[in-house]
Amino acid sequence: MDTIWIKLLFSLLTIFIVLNYGLLLQGVVRKIGARVGRRYGIRWYQPWIDIIKNYAKRTKITHGIMYYIAPAFRLTGGIGLLLFMPVIYGTDMFSNFSFTGDLLLLLYFQFFGVLGMALGAAEGGHPYSAMGVSRGLAQVTAYELTLTLGIIAIAVQYQTLSITEIVAAQQGGIANWTIITNPLAGIALMLAFLAAMGRSPFDVVIAPQEIPIGPPTEFHSGLLGVLQLNRAIFPAAKLILFMNLLFGGATDWGTLIIKTFLIYMWSVFVGVAFPRFRVDQSIRWYLFIPLIIGVLAVLFMKF
């Protein structure tokens, strides 16, 4: 019983650290994007101010039960993804609730929040919400094919579905990282990573220049605050997942911050260098080059 309570305590500590790290990334990355565009940009601590401001507001607007449940679904997807994988390898304190076969569960958590958001936004009735949901589900389906094929290739390579075992197999230096030992799977996952982070040119869901913020259009006050918490936790959890799968994981928080920040810069670089795709362009692109690379990665492991 004591072990369970200690596990819960360190899980809450993990959520707190990753949440604040995700908020910091939001502020810094938006600042970088603004400077590239020769603008001053927001203050790096603006995400914290936005959350406090939204939680301080109240509303009497209602659109049904699912409208309230959707943000909880969304946040559950991000927290679930974070808590069912090891954050720091080699320590029981930050291994969370990872178990043998956790890689399959994390694939479900990737899609869990999307479905919840789709149901809630659709109940709101706003046309921008419906547009964002339809675009989001179409794009997620497209890039999930490449993502799943890359993960299958890695699972076949290491003969395990345990993220802890996958990270353990990559210890000993950069030469043992999956991105080096299985470059096809690495390329497939890093291409899927671009859409998973929702940044340009794959930000067809929120499309701020066209359908102002997409699915979250009608969410406000505390509900919007919950979505903002998820926008900090979910991307940071994805960064940790890709770090574990491809870049040897992390044995301390300093290594984790450095690796995840550099991984994030890949999507930031592509985002500031390329304009936004249309929905059809995004889906066609993922069903062509990335999908072919994903299939080749699986075939390479098989033969």
pLDDT tens-digit profile of 5-20?
888 888 899 999 999 9
Q: What is the mean pLDDT of residues 134-155?
A: 88
User: Which of these, 117, 12, 125, lies nearest to 74 by C-alpha position?
Assistant: 117
pTM (2 d.p.): 0.90
Show the beta-strand stretches assigned E in the chain: none
pLDDT-derived band of residue 134, with 50, 70 and 90 as boundaries?
A: confident
- C-alpha span between 241 and 103 (Å, rounded): 10
What's the alpha-carbon Rg for the chain, to the nearest Å? 19
| Rounded Cα distance, 196 and 68, in Å | 24
Answer whether residue 89 shows pLDDT above 70: yes
The separation between the first and the last C-alpha atoms of the chain, rounded to the nearest angstrom, is: 47
Res 1 pLDDT > 60 = no
Q: Which of 20-29, 120-129, 251-260 has the lowest mean pLDDT?
A: 120-129
Give the phi and the psi of residue 55 in degrees, each rounded to 5: -70, -20
How many angstroms separate the most distant Cα atoms in the chain? Answer: 60
- The pLDDT of residue 185 is 93
- Amino acid 88: pLDDT: 92
If one compares 136 and 20, the residue with the highest pLDDT of the two is: 20
Q: What's the mean pLDDT when you consider all of the chain?
A: 85
The confidence score (pLDDT) of residue 166 equals: 94
pLDDT confidence bin for 157, thresholds 50/70/90: very high
- The answer to whether 84 and 106 are in contact (CB under 8 A) is yes
C-alpha–C-alpha distance, residues 204 and 211, integer Å:
9
Alpha helices in 37-101 (DSSP H): 46-55, 65-83
Residue (of 291, 288, 250) closest to 146 by Cα position: 291
Cα three-residue angle 139-101-171, rounded to 5 degrees: 95
Report residue 112's pLDDT band, with 50, 70 and 90 as the boundaries. confident
pLDDT at residue 158, rounded to an integer: 93
Res 212 pLDDT > 70: no
Task: Identify the pLDDT of residue 208.
Answer: 65
Are the C-beta atoms of residues 259 and 247 closer than 8 Å to each other?
A: yes
Give the separation between CA 92 and CA 89, rounded to whole angstroms.
8
| Residue 209 pLDDT level (bands cut at 50, 70, 90) | low
Stretch 238-253: mean pLDDT: 94
Quote the pLDDT of residue 65.
Answer: 79
Residue 133 tokens, joined: 């949901």
Say which residue, 114 or 292, is predicted with more confidence.
292
The larger pLDDT score, comparing residue 172 to residue 60, is at 172
Burial of 275 (0-12, 13-18, 19+ CB in 10 A): exposed
pLDDT at residue number 295: 93
**What's the CA dihedral at 159, 164, 169, 174 to 10 degrees?**
130
Specify the pLDDT at position 23.
Answer: 93
The stretch 71-84 carries a mean pLDDT of: 87
pLDDT score recorded for residue 255: 94
Confidence of residue 293 (pLDDT cuts 50, 70, 90): very high
Is the predicted pLDDT of residue 165 greater than 80, yes or no? yes
pLDDT value of residue 215: 64
CB 138, CB 201: distance < 8 Å:
no
pLDDT at 138: 82
